[in-house]
Amino acid sequence: MDARFSDEENAFRAEVRAFLQQAWTPELAARVDDDDSYPQAIGEWQRRLFERGWVAPGWPRQHGGCEWTPTQRYLYELERSAIGAPEVPPFGIKMVGPVIIQFGNAAQQARFLPRILRAQDWWCQGYSEPGAGSDLASLKTRAERAGDHYIVNGQKIWTTYAQHADWMFCLVRTDHAARRQDGISFLLIDMKTPGIRVQPIVSIDGVHSLNEVFFDNVRVPVDNLVGEQDRGWTYAKSLLAHERTAIAGVGDSKRRLRRLRQLAQRETCGGKPLAEDPILQARLADIEIELMALETMELRALFEASKGKGPGPESSLLKIKGSEVQQAIQAVMMELAGLYGAVLPGGLDAQAIGHDFGDEARRAYMYGRAATIYGGSNEVQKNITAKAVLGL
Amino acid sequence: MNFDLSEDDAALQDSVARWVQQRYPFDARRKLAAQAPGFSAAHWREMAELGWLALPFDEAHGGLGGGPLATALMLEQLGKGLVLEPYLPNLLLFGRLLQRAAAPHQALLPALIEGRLQGALAWQERHSRHELADVQTTLRPAGAGLVLDGEKVLVANGAAAEQLVVSARSAGGRFDTAGLSLVRIDATAPGVERTPLQLMDGQWVAHFRFRNVAVAPEQLLCAPGEGFALLQQTVHEAMLALCAEAFGVMQLLQASTLEYVKTRNQFGVTIGSFQALQHRLVDMYTALEQTRALLVRAVCSAEDRSADALRDLLALKVMVGKAGRLIGGEAVQMHGGMGMTDELVVGHGMKRLMVIDTSFGNAEVQRARFAALPA
């Protein structure tokens, strides 16, 4: 048994680090951090990765991917998160891209994949509906065939960045089959089509990233159906498995824990650094130990993947523990910020209040609530584990 | 990176698992535990014949040179049967200390490997809790030799031990690591008084009093006053093996609880069909998998002699304490009234996990040590 990386893997890691250090500039970081400039700046970041050939780690080479091994992908993620560079928006590269590659036709691949790689199209995900959250298969948005078009009517919700999106990959009901999962299709919808209305939802972090999307007799060419009609559930499920493989977020949590320790050194109470409080020390130790366990769980999953096994039921545990660790870190950061973390931006700048991380802490905490909800809520993950692993 | 077992390691794991299954039905265990020394001499001979007692010793002393991984695999399987034979106290504490000691002490290793010698490490005192250095037993010069005075408590394998290694202070203040000596004495030497006691997990320990016990200089394991490093290193290795045992006990409890909830009927359905229990069973399973991950991690870094080895070990011991409390408690709870009976293995597994948690310092102690490590 050996948990170490090989010499080749370490060399790859050094190569990744060297590139990131040069490509991830403070100037770009500042623009990515700003909500207003984010869409443009993140696209620019994606194009830098594209030019290096590293934008689609999991895609096959013939479609412009790097065909990295699971271990290489993990090492890239470690280095990316260590330096604080963002993930590129997952909707194109991680989500719809693999589905088009696996189930789409040649024309769809030629039309969409090059534009996804270069961040020329923004994509959003049309899955959840007001009545279909964890129970996604109960979705009601319907698409009726009329000649060479589908006519789409209904509503999607929690659609991240729909306000920027050029395209949506969307689950729609095309048949009322006996098994609810059997009548669902996977459609690609141009967001500029008449009849689509996007309505913002401001989330508890004070940010507008979520939306409701309404469809009123939206005409979608039949050419935009991926795979076979009524088989979309299968395609979406394969995508969810992709989504879960990286969800533990070990690297990002490590960086945030380091940041937490720095803040605890800097912040004082009664003239002493908060870091000297034994109760805080114990909490940080608990978080770090959970993170160490998570890291090795992920490495073991990676090792199984390197033997050619797909993500198994252990991906549910990675999702559960990964999101719990993220929230534990966010909770401690919010406590370190104290009441200063409650101040909304506007009146005075953060320095004048005395703390410059209150806004960061509050937004991370509030947005972080989503981690135990999305991607199949943690309760759903427990249902899956009880059934698939424990045989209950 | 490779998390698969080698053929040899997998074969060892299988043969120990089979032996435990054959020799350790729960009723047999209860009979063995009932009377001191609380284990079977016949079992111990079998383990010697199978070569298992040679596993943790160097080839130079007739051992098999098994490292942290092989030892952990052994203890994990023993844990699954709540095996009572004193593998850890006799071999991993007493024996591995002898291996690190001067040549005359190493000369006893063949007897240990052949199953002909029972030994114990007497380190704990009534005031010391988990602190290895908090030693008031004294070792003082007397004429050409030395004399040992004091008291040791809760000595694992103390009831069966023919020989003891005793930590004693020959210099320094009560908590100093410097000034600690290690001596090997006969458990029946004049001035040694032994009282056997049983712990809640079934094991028999002993309380020792030493009154003017004469010790010759050759009985020192290493230079006088320099025993602490030896002691600590040996205890850390044994802690890793103890955590592997805990992982085995956890698997036992998880498996029997799962089996129970799938067969126990109430309200016309199996209780395992209730979501409230399913989610808690997943929490148990998660704790088990977290323990597995940290065990793998600590074993790998011990095998590599990595600079992170101590950090990984402490993290593991914290998790073993926390996960053990969760799994032990939930196993009893989900067995309902049956979980309360002494006739079921479940409560015994819970008690073994509680004893393991508190041995060498519980989760809270190890967490404080972990937090104090340089980042």
Between A239-243, A263-267, B116-120, B157-161, the lowest mean confidence (pLDDT) is in: A239-243
Residue B288's pLDDT is 98
Domain with CATH 1.10.540.10 in chain B: 7-117
Chain B positions in Cβ-Cβ contact with residue A389 (cut-off 8 Å): 282, 285
pLDDT averages per 10-residue partition of chain B, 375 residues: 93 98 95 95 98 97 96 98 98 98 96 98 97 97 96 98 98 96 98 97 98 98 97 98 98 98 97 98 98 98 96 98 98 97 96 98 98 89
- Is A141 within the bounds of a domain? yes
Our count of domains for chain A comes to: 3
Query: Residue A321 — pLDDT band, cuts 50, 70, 90?
Result: very high
- Is A18 within the bounds of a domain? yes
H-helix or E-strand spanning residue A189: strand A184-190
- Is A151 within the bounds of a domain? yes
* C-alpha distances in Å from residue B328, one per residue of B243, B321, B335, B356: 15, 10, 11, 12
A140 and A223 inside one domain: yes
Residue A245's pLDDT is 55
- Is A105 within the bounds of a domain? no
Query: Residue A345 — pLDDT band, cuts 50, 70, 90?
Result: confident
A323 and A251 inside one domain: yes
Residue A144's pLDDT is 97
Chain A positions in Cβ-Cβ contact with residue B319 (cut-off 8 Å): 289, 293
Whole-angstrom distance, CA of residue B311 vs CA of residue B240:
12
The architecture in CATH of the region B229-372 reads Up-down Bundle (1.20)
Pick the last residue of a domain from A88, A113, A136: A88
CATH of the domain at A71: 1.10.540.10
Shortest Cα–Cα distance, B191 to chain A (Å): 45
Residue B177's pLDDT is 97
A384 and A256 inside one domain: yes
* A242: pLDDT strictly greater than 70: no
Residue A305's pLDDT is 81
CATH of the domain at A217: 2.40.110.10
A268 and A364 inside one domain: yes
* A348: pLDDT strictly greater than 80: no
Residue B322's pLDDT is 98
Domain B7-117: give its CATH code.
Answer: 1.10.540.10
Domain B120-225: give its CATH code.
Answer: 2.40.110.10
B139 — phi, psi (to 5°)?
-130, 110
Answering whether pTM is above 0.80, one says yes
CB-nearest partner of B282 from A285, A289, A385: A385
Shortest Cα–Cα distance, B370 to chain A (Å): 7
> Any idea which residue has 């290096």 for tokens?
A52
Whole-angstrom distance, CA of residue A253 vs CA of residue A82:
10
Domain with CATH 1.20.140.10 in chain B: 229-372
Residue A241's pLDDT is 61
Interface residue ranges in chain A relative to chain B, Cβ cutoff 8 Å = 1-6, 9, 71, 261, 278, 281-282, 284-286, 288-290, 292-297, 299-300, 302-303, 306, 314, 317, 320-321, 379, 382-383, 385-386, 389-392
This model of the complex carries an ipTM of 0.96
Give the start-end residues of each E strand in A55-158: 123-126, 142-146, 149-157
Domain with CATH 2.40.110.10 in chain B: 120-225
Mean pLDDT of chain A: 92
Pick the last residue of a domain from A37, A65, A88: A88
**pLDDT tens digits along A39-62:** 999 999 999 999 999 999 889 999
Residue A246's pLDDT is 64
- A379 flagged as catalytic: no
Q: Show the domain range for A348.
A: 247-388
- Is A107 within the bounds of a domain? no
- Please name the residues in contact with B18: beta carbons below 8 A apart, sequence gap of 6 or more: none
**pLDDT tens digits along A99-135:** 999 999 999 999 999 999 999 999 999 999 999 998 9
- Is A235 within the bounds of a domain? no
> Where on the phi/psi map is residue B11: left (φ > 0), alpha (ψ -120 to 50), or beta?
alpha
Closest CA to B147 of B121, B185, B119, B179: B185
Residue B57's pLDDT is 98
Query: Residue A344 — pLDDT band, cuts 50, 70, 90?
Result: confident
A278 and A192 inside one domain: no
Buried b (16+ CB within 10 A) or exposed e, B90-122: bbbbbbbbbbbbeeebbebbeebbebebbbbbb
As a dihedral over the C-alpha atoms of residue A69, residue A71, residue A72, residue A74, rounded to 10 degrees, the angle is 130
Residue A350's pLDDT is 65
CB-nearest partner of B1 from A299, A314, A317: A299
Residue A69's pLDDT is 85
Residue A369's pLDDT is 96
Q: From the candidates A79, A129, A243, A295, give the one annotated as an active-site residue.
A: A243
Query: Residue A243 — pLDDT band, cuts 50, 70, 90?
Result: low
* A311: pLDDT strictly greater than 70: no
Residue A58's pLDDT is 86
Pick the last residue of a domain from A172, A204, A230: A230
